Chains A and B, each alone.
Chain A
Amino acid sequence: MLKIQNLHVSIHGKEILKGVNLEVKRGEVHAIMGPNGTGKSTLASVIAGKEIFDVTEGTITYKDKNIFDLSIEDRAREGIFIGFQYPVEIPGVSITNFMRTALNEIRTYRGLEPLGAAQFLRLMEEKKKIVELHSKLSERSVNEGFSGGEKKKNEIFQMAVLEPELAILDETDSGLDIDALRVVANGVNQLRSPENATVVITHYQRLLDYIVPDVVHILFDGKIVKSGPKELAMELEEKGYDWIKSEYEQSKLSGK
C-alpha cells in the first residue's frame, strides 16, 4: 500500500532523512520509534505534502501511485490521513463545518453523493462516541482553546469521520494523560480493519501497550536502522536509545 524507497529529504539545505526504506501493507500496524530530532515528524510531513521540505532523492508510492504527483488534498482524498503532533488552531471554523466540507469533498472525489446536513450530523454523533468527544466540542472552532488531550482526540475524531485507508499518527500520545491515551488508542483500534493500515510514530513504548504493532522500526539519524516484531519496542524501552546509538556508530565504523 505504502512503499518508501531510499527517501532523502532536506530542509534549508540540511539533510534530515538520509535514505528511508519502508513498506506498509493493508491490515498492518507499524510503529516508528526513535529519539527526538531523527526525522520522524519530517517523514509524516513529507507524506502529507508539506512544501517546505525538499525531496532530493527516492520515491514514495501509495496504492501504486507516485505520491509526489498528488496535491495535498488529493493525498487525503486517496485515503491518507495524518494525525498531527501539533494540530493547528483555526478560530472561527467550527469542527462541524470543517468536517462536512472535508468529507463531502472526499466523497465527491470518489464519485459518491455528498452527505446532506441531517445525514452528516447523524454521522458526527456516531463518530463522536468512538473518541468520547463531548457534544459541545464539535460546535467549537477547530482546536481553538482545546487542551492537549482534546486536540489529539479531535485528530482521531477526524480520522473516524474521514475513514482513511492509511493513517499516519505522529506522536499522538504526546501530552496525553493515561485516560486520554486509552481513549485515543481505543479509537484507533476500533478503526483498524484488514483493509486499512496504520503507522504510529512515537518515542515511548507506552502507546504500543494499547495499539499493538505488527512491526516496529527504529529511525535514527535519518534512516531506519532496525526493524523487528513488537518485542523490539520492549527491548528499546529497557535498553534506551543509547543502545541503538552505539550499535549504529559501530556499524558505521566497521564500514557496513
Chain B
Amino acid sequence: MERFNQTIEELYQEMIQTGSQQIPCRELRDQGMALFREKGIPHGKMEKWRHKAIDTLLVKPDQPFRPYRIQTEPSPYQPIDQVFKCEIKNIGTISYHLLNGWYVHQNKPLDVWENGVIVGSINAAYQQFPELVKKHFNQLDPEKQDGLIALNQALFTDGVFIYVPDNVVVETPIQIVSLVDTLQKLMIQHHHLVIVGKNSQLSLVHCNDSVHEENSFINNILEINLEANAQLHYYKMENKDAQSILVNNTFVNQAADSRFTSNMITFNCGYVRNSLEVHLNEEGADANLYGLYLVDRKQYIDNQVNIVHHVPHCTSNQIYKGIADDEAGANFSGHIYVAKDAQQTAAYQINRNIALTDEAKITTRPFLEIYADDVKCSHGATIGQLDENAMFYLRTRGICLRNARMLLMFAFANEIANLVLIEKLRERLNDMIKRRLSGELTICDQCMMNCADKENLIYDIDTTRLRS
C-alpha cells in the first residue's frame, strides 16, 4: 500500500501543477489530500469493507506493482461516435459524455437550454455560475467519509453539472455516459452535481461503460439536491470490463415533498461498489431505491444503501434483487436510520438473491436503527436457489432444464426492470436481461444501449448460449 500511497502523492503534485481547466479550488484538493493521508484506502478490517476489501484489489499482493495514471488534461476533441458506438438516440435521451475523466465538448463546456436548464462540465459551471454551484458542491461531512471520498477531493478532474430551475418539467431524459478508452492503467475521479429546483422534474440515465481499458480504477462522487416538490428518476447502468474497479458514492438531499427514485442496474463488472446515501431532510420527502445485479465469473457487486429519516412523515422503499453465478459475489447492506423525532416514518426494505452455484457468495445485511416510536418499518432478506417446484412444473410442459432456469431468472430480474418508467429504456433493459442471462451480453457489446432491434423484443429463448 505504501507504493500506492506514494503514487497518490505524485498524482496530487501533478494535478496541482497542471490542471488549467479545473475548478480553481486548490484548497479543496489540499483538504482532500490531508484527509486521505489520515484515512488511507479502506481495508478489510473496517466494518463496511469486511466482506470484500478494496485495498487488495487496487494493489494485488501477488502481482508486481504498476502505478495508476491520471489523464490531467482532456483529450483533443473528437466526435464521441468515433470512440463509441451507441444507439442512444433510440431511447430518446439527450446525451452528454465523459471520456477518461473529462467532459467531452467542442468549445461549449456548458449547454444552456431555452428553459434555463444547464448541463455541462462542473469546472466550467463553477466559473460561470459560482453562486449556483458553490452552494451545493462538496457538501460532505469529511469526518463521516472514508478515504475514497478524500481521494476524489484530492484528485478529481471533471464531472457533469446539471441544473434544472424551479417549475421546469424536463420532458426528455438526460443521459450521461462515462467512458474509459485507454491502454493505460487509469485512475478516474469524477465529481458530478445535480440540482433539481422547486416543483421541477427530471429523468437522468447514467451509464458507466468501458471501451478499451486496462485495470482502470474509477472513484466517483455524485451529489444530488432535490428542492421542495422536485422529482428525479435516476437510472444507473453499469456494464464494465472484468478488470475494472468502479466505486460510486452518491449523496442525495431531499427537501419537502420531493421524490427520488433510483434504479441501479449492474450487468457486468469487475468490482463495483454503489454507495447510496439519501437524506430525507424535510417532511413529505419520498425515496424509492431499486437495484438489480446479475453477476457471474469472478465479478463482485456491492450495494451499500444508507437512508436517513431526519424528520417526520417521510417514506422510503428499497427493493434490491440479484443473481450470482459461477464464483461471483454480491453484497447488499441496507441501513435505515430513523431519527428520534422522525415520527410517522414509513420505511421498507427488501433484498432477494439467487445463488446459482455453491461457489457464488452472497451476503445481505439489513440494518435498521430506529429512535422514533411511531413508525412503520420492515425488512426482508433472502438468499436462495431457483424454486424446484416451479422448475419441475415448467419441465412437465416440455421446457428444457436450461430454459426453465432462464424463464425463472428472467422473471426474477424483470420485476426491477419493470420499475423503469422510460418505456424504451425498459424494453431495452428487459432485452438486455434476457441476453445477459443467456450469456450473450458481454462487455464486447461496447455499450449498454446497443440492443437488438424491436422485432426481437418479444421474449424468445435462445437455447444455444445457455449453460445447463
Interface residue ranges, A against B (CB under 8 Å): 48-50, 71-73, 75-77, 81-82, 84, 87-93, 97-103, 105-106, 109, 117, 141, 158, 162
Cβ-defined partner of A105 (8 Å) among B393, B398, B408, B414: B398
Complex Cα gap A162–B399 (Å): 12
Complex Cα gap A105–B399 (Å): 6
- Report the minimum CB–CB distance from B437 to chain A (whole Å): 13
Cβ-defined partner of A158 (8 Å) among B389, B397, B407, B414: B397
Residues on A with beta carbons closer than 8 Å to the beta carbon of B410: 92-93
Complex Cα gap A92–B14 (Å): 53
- Report the minimum CB–CB distance from A147 to chain B (whole Å): 18
Q: Answer whether A102 and B411 are a contact pair too, CB < 8 Å, given A50-B392, A72-B392, A97-B459.
A: no
B461 touches A101 (CB 8 A): yes
Q: Answer whether A84 and B393 are a contact pair too, CB < 8 Å, given A92-B415, A117-B458.
A: yes
Residues on A with beta carbons closer than 8 Å to the beta carbon of B458: 117
A162 touches B415 (CB 8 A): no
Interface residue ranges, B against A (CB under 8 Å): 387, 389-390, 392-401, 403, 407-408, 410-412, 414-415, 458-461
- Report the minimum CB–CB distance from A87 to chain B (whole Å): 7
Complex Cα gap A91–B408 (Å): 8
What are 22 A-to-B residue pairs whose CB atoms are below 8 Å? A48-B392, A49-B396, A71-B401, A73-B401, A81-B396, A88-B387, A88-B389, A88-B392, A88-B393, A90-B394, A90-B408, A90-B411, A91-B411, A92-B415, A93-B407, A93-B411, A97-B407, A98-B397, A101-B399, A101-B459, A102-B397, A162-B397
Residues on B with beta carbons closer than 8 Å to the beta carbon of A82: 396
Complex Cα gap A16–B412 (Å): 36
B407 touches A72 (CB 8 A): no
Give the nearest-CB partner of A103 in chain B. B398
Complex Cα gap A94–B407 (Å): 10
Interface of A is mostly: helix
Complex Cα gap A77–B400 (Å): 10
- Report the minimum CB–CB distance from A81 to chain B (whole Å): 8
Cβ-defined partner of A48 (8 Å) among B396, B407, B415: B396
Residues on B with beta carbons closer than 8 Å to the beta carbon of A87: 393
Give the nearest-CB partner of B461 in chain A. A101
Complex Cα gap A162–B396 (Å): 11
Residues on A with beta carbons closer than 8 Å to the beta carbon of B460: 100
Complex Cα gap A106–B403 (Å): 13
Complex Cα gap A109–B398 (Å): 9
Give the nearest-CB partner of A120 in chain B. B458
B395 touches A73 (CB 8 A): yes
B407 touches A73 (CB 8 A): no
Residues on B with beta carbons closer than 8 Å to the beta carbon of A117: 458
Residues on A with beta carbons closer than 8 Å to the beta carbon of B389: 88
> Nearest 7 pairs between A and B by C-beta?
A92-B411, A76-B398, A102-B397, A88-B393, A72-B395, A106-B398, A93-B411
- Report the minimum CB–CB distance from B337 to chain A (whole Å): 31
- Report the minimum CB–CB distance from A80 to chain B (whole Å): 8
Residues on A with beta carbons closer than 8 Å to the beta carbon of B394: 90, 93, 98, 102
Residues on B with beta carbons closer than 8 Å to the beta carbon of A99: 397
Residues on B with beta carbons closer than 8 Å to the beta carbon of A92: 408, 410-412, 414-415
Complex Cα gap A87–B460 (Å): 24
Residues on A with beta carbons closer than 8 Å to the beta carbon of B411: 90-93, 141
Complex Cα gap A100–B407 (Å): 12
Complex Cα gap A75–B387 (Å): 21
Q: Answer whether A73 and B399 are a contact pair too, CB < 8 Å, given A50-B392, A97-B407, A97-B459.
A: yes
Q: Answer whether A162 and B398 are a contact pair too, CB < 8 Å, given A92-B412, A101-B461, A141-B411.
A: yes
A93 touches B461 (CB 8 A): no
B393 touches A76 (CB 8 A): no
Give the nearest-CB partner of B404 in chain A. A73
Complex Cα gap A71–B408 (Å): 19
Q: Answer whether A101 and B403 are a contact pair too, CB < 8 Å, given A48-B396, A76-B395, A88-B393.
A: yes
B397 touches A76 (CB 8 A): yes
A90 touches B399 (CB 8 A): no
Complex Cα gap A71–B410 (Å): 23
Residues on A with beta carbons closer than 8 Å to the beta carbon of B400: 73, 105
Give the nearest-CB partner of A48 in chain B. B396
17 more A-B residue pairs beyond the given contacts A73-B395, A98-B394, with a C-beta to C-beta distance below 8 A = A49-B396, A72-B392, A73-B396, A75-B396, A87-B393, A92-B408, A92-B410, A97-B459, A98-B397, A98-B407, A99-B397, A100-B460, A102-B397, A102-B398, A103-B398, A105-B399, A158-B397
